[in-house]
Structures are given as C-alpha cells and as structure tokens.
C-alpha cells in the first residue's frame, strides 16, 4: 500500500522559509508505526509542494486549528480523486464531527494503538468513522525513520518527545483534552535509543514541561549526559526551585528553555496556575536560569480580561529590564475546546469562526478593555520595539553565552514582525472594520517610525 502523510500549510501563498522551520514529529512517528511492507511518503506543505494527483492509496492528514481550512480543502480534493482520507491532530480531536464532513475517518487523540487498526480496516474496506484509544501505552520503542530530513531546518534541530498528558486545566489550553490529565512517560532507555538512532547532536524536546516530573527528568538528564548532545525544551518556571535539577539539565546538554510567563500583569498572575505569582520573584528566577548558562526564551500573551493598553509598555519594559534575549508575543487565542473559547462564545465576543485566523497573532474576539485593533496593533508594537537594532544590541552584552542564538532569533523575529506589519491593514479590514475606512487602515506610520500612540487614534 502507498500511504501519503500530509501536514498542510495555513496559507499556500505565505509559506515560511525552510531554514526557520522547527521540524515536525507527528508525521515521522506515524511512518515509524507503519509496517515495513507499506510505502510512506511525507509532505510538509510549509516547505514541500503537494501533488493532488499523487499516486497513493491512503492519505493521512494531520492539522491544528489554524491550518484546518486548508486541511479540509485538501481532504475533499483527495476524496474527489477516489482516495481514502484519514484525519487526525489537535483540531480533528477537539471537533471530530466537523472534521468527518471532509474525510472518511478521524483519529481522535493519539495515534498509537489505532494506526495499525486503521491500516487493517482499510485493507478490508471497512474504515470506521472514528478511532480513539485514550491514553495508549508508550512503552514500545518506535524507530522513527527519515531523521536526517530534519537537518535542513532550524539549526539542524531534531524533535523528540518524552512525556504526554497535563494535570493542569488552564482556560486557554486544551492539552489535557488531547493527551489526558495523567502524565505518561516514554521509557528513558527508549529516548536514549531514539537519540542514538537519529545520529544527531542538537535536539528539541517537544514536551509541554520537560521537568514536569522531576524524578523522571533527573533520570533522563543522567542518561543522556554521556551522549554529549545539545538540547532545548520547554519548562515551568518552577524549575528554579530545584538547583540540583538545573545543574543536571545543564550538564546533560541543555542550552535553552522556553518559559511560558504569559503576563506581567500582577492581577493576571494571581489568577493563573503559576508556581511564581510575584513579579520580583519572577525576575529573580530569570537571573537564576541565566546564571546556569541556559538561554531564557519567554512567551507573553496579550488580551486577558484584566489587560489594559498599559500592558504593552509594561511588557516591553519588563523584557528590557531583565535583559531577556527573545520572546514569543501572542494574542490570547480562544481555541475550540478551551474554557476561554466557551466563555467568549457564550458572551457573544467571538469575531469569527474562520479557523485560519486562530493563529496566536490575530485577534478573533472582542477584548474587555480595548478595541480589537488596539490589541492587534499593541502586540505588534511591542514586537517591533523588542526587535529594533538598538533594542537587540542593548540586550546583547547580557546574552553573550548564546550570542549566535540571540542574534539569529531576533533577526528572524524582526522579519516576522515586518510581515505581520504588512498584514495589519488586511486583517483589520476583515475582522474589525470601522465606519471610517481611513481608521485604522490609513498608514499613519511607517515601520521605521512606529510609535505606540499611532495605534490608539480614536475615530472622530
């Protein structure tokens, strides 16, 4: 059997350069689960061209919310050509009844434990509409082929995962709906084997919190230390409470960590399920992480109900004061399946159900203390100010341990900022038009003269 596995892009006319793409794991994991008698071809549409006339028997499409419209389009096109189509991923898991309208079968949740059944059912022409095996065992080692393909991506980095599941229930997150609330681990010996089999030296752990189970994390760090690899990952800021764990992480090859601080608003921090809720203690934690030679990258979210327009300069000042090298700046996105989505839907605050706009950077709801445009533009203003040459250089002396990463990430962010800036009038026209077409579409500013006050000109 010929199997085509597809990861769609969000916009066929706006694909990212291959060099800045973090490689995916899901498609390669499915290929590893496929018996060797089948031929598998993987297409990641962000970097590869797709042929709707591809000679194949079965098509598997995995998608998130933002690329769901494109995924549905491709699924229908393949079906028109007589192909059987199976869909899976975050969005089909949350909205399986929506996804099944465009395909033959939907894999809900994780693919382990059901993929072989899908292939068997296809063979005997008895594909079911839905497949779901909650919380499958992760004990079996899955050898993932084609690892060398990922070396054409961001810093030649190779993706790997060690845990699934999350015990928390954050209103803006649906991880627990996909992987469950119980944290499950891939055996450490399997992780080590995967690293060895990949032949790589630089890895990214895709876990939502690599130190979520400190006992497992210490076992993992001890096991990979002799491999002399380098790695980055994502962790809770509670990481700083265990000095031994920090030391073991660094000695095992940790070079950088992504921390979801989310907000510098004191009132918002008190509401969030964070281990550190005090700004001063957060700043101490940042210094401690950096003192271990670990690159500190943070995520900030704008648009919480407590946020006013003051959140933008406050966040920028926090980044500068703490000499944070780089940050991912998002607007609150009410993904389907989350408490935030349900609340906004019940309150009539959603601006659109066009999933392509649910992408972390486009405002799709009515904020409480500002207009949608002000939220859209305020996030972009912080992004612009953070990635200006003068700003980047002012933080450089405090990030010399990771000079290449510091400069590369900020240059990359600057290019993304420029593209987002050019998209701003189009997004505003689509999602939050005003009676006066000059506001906010008329260019009151240029990117080289990008003032905070420009964004908050009121209609007369």
- What domains are defined for the chain? 2-131 (3.40.50.280), 294-460 (no CATH)
Reading the block at residue 45, the tokens are 């549409």
Q: What is the pLDDT of residues 186-202, one digit of tens each?
A: 999 999 999 999 888 99
Whether residue 358 is predicted with pLDDT greater than 50 in this model: the reply is yes
Q: Which long-range contacts (CB under 8 A, 24 or more apart) does 270-277 make?
A: 271/306, 272/170, 273/168, 273/169, 273/170, 274/237, 275/236, 275/237, 275/238, 275/241, 276/237, 276/238
Whole-angstrom Cα Rg for the chain: 22
Mean pLDDT value across the chain? 87
pLDDT at position 217 is 96
Q: What is the chain's length?
A: 460
Confidence of residue 162 (pLDDT cuts 50, 70, 90): very high
Question: Would strands 202-205 and 254-262 be described as parallel, antiparallel, or unpaired?
Answer: unpaired
For 234, the 3-state DSSP assignment is strand
Lowest mean pLDDT among 81-95, 253-267, 378-392: 253-267
Q: What is the pLDDT of residue 208?
A: 86
3-state SS assignment for residue 191: helix
- Bridge partners, 61 (sequence order): 6, 87
pTM reported for the whole predicted model:
0.89
What pLDDT is recorded for position 86?
Answer: 98
Residue range 116-128, pLDDT digits in tens:
999 999 999 999 9
Question: How high is the pLDDT of residue 272?
Answer: 56
Judge whether residue 452 has pLDDT over 90.
Answer: no
Tokens representing 312?
Answer: 């933008």
Q: For position 441, what pLDDT does the model report?
A: 41
**Residue 92 CB partners (closer than 8 Å, separation 6+):** 63, 68, 98, 99, 106, 107, 108
CA separation for the pair 223, 319 (Å, rounded): 35
Predicted confidence (pLDDT) per residue in 249-304, tens digit: 999 999 999 998 888 876 665 565 555 567 888 899 999 999 999 999 999 999 99
């Amino acid at each position: 059997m010929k199997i085509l596995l597809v990861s769609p892009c969000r916009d066929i006319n706006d694909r990212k350069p291959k060099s800045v793409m973090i490689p995916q794991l899901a498609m390669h994991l499915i290929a590893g689960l496929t018996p060797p008698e089948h031929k598998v071809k993987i297409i990641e549409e962000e970097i590869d061209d797709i042929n709707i006339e591809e000679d194949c028997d079965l098509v598997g499409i995995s998608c998130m919310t933002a690329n769901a419209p494109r995924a549905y389009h491709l699924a229908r096109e393949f079906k028109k050509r007589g192909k059987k189509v199976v869909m899976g991923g975050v969005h089909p898991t949350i909205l399986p009844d929506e996804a099944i309208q465009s395909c033959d079968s939907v894999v809900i949740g994780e693919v382990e434990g059901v993929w072989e059944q899908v292939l068997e059912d296809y063979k005997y022409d008895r594909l079911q509409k839905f497949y779901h095996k909650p919380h499958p065992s992760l004990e079996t080692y899955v050898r993932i082929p084609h690892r060398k393909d990922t070396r054409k991506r961001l810093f030649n980095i190779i993706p790997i995962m060690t845990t699934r599941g999350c015990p928390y229930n954050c209103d803006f997150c649906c991880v627990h709906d996909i992987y469950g609330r119980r944290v499950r681990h891939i055996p450490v010996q399997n992780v080590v084997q995967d690293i060895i089999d990949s032949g790589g030296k630089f890895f990214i752990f895709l876990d939502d919190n690599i130190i979520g189970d400190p006992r497992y994390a210490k076992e993992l760090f001890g096991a990979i230390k002799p491999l002399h690899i380098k790695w980055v990952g994502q962790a809770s800021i509670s990481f700083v409470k265990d000095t031994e764990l920090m030391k073991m992480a660094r000695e095992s090859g940790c070079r950088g960590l992504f921390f979801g601080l989310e907000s510098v608003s004191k009132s918002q921090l008190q509401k969030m399920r964070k281990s550190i809720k005090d700004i001063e203690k957060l700043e101490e934690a940042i210094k401690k992480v950096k003192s271990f030679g670990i690159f500190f990258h943070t995520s900030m979210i704008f648009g919480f109900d407590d946020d006013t327009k003051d959140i933008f300069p406050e966040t920028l000042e926090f980044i500068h004061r703490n000499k944070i090298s780089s940050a991912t700046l998002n607007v609150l996105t009410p993904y389907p399946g989350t408490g935030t989505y349900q609340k906004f839907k019940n309150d009539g605050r959603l601006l659109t159900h066009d999933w392509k706009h649910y992408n972390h950077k486009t405002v799709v709801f009515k904020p409480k203390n500002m207009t949608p445009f002000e939220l859209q533009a305020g996030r972009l203003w912080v992004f612009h100010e953070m990635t200006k040459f003068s700003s980047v250089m002012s933080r450089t002396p405090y990030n010399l341990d990771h000079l290449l990463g510091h400069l590369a990430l900020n240059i990359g962010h600057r290019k993304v900022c420029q593209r987002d800036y050019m998209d701003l009038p189009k997004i505003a026209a689509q999602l939050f038009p005003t009676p006066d077409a000059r506001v906010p579409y008329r260019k009151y500013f240029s990117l080289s003269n990008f003032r905070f006050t420009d964004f908050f000109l009121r209609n007369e």
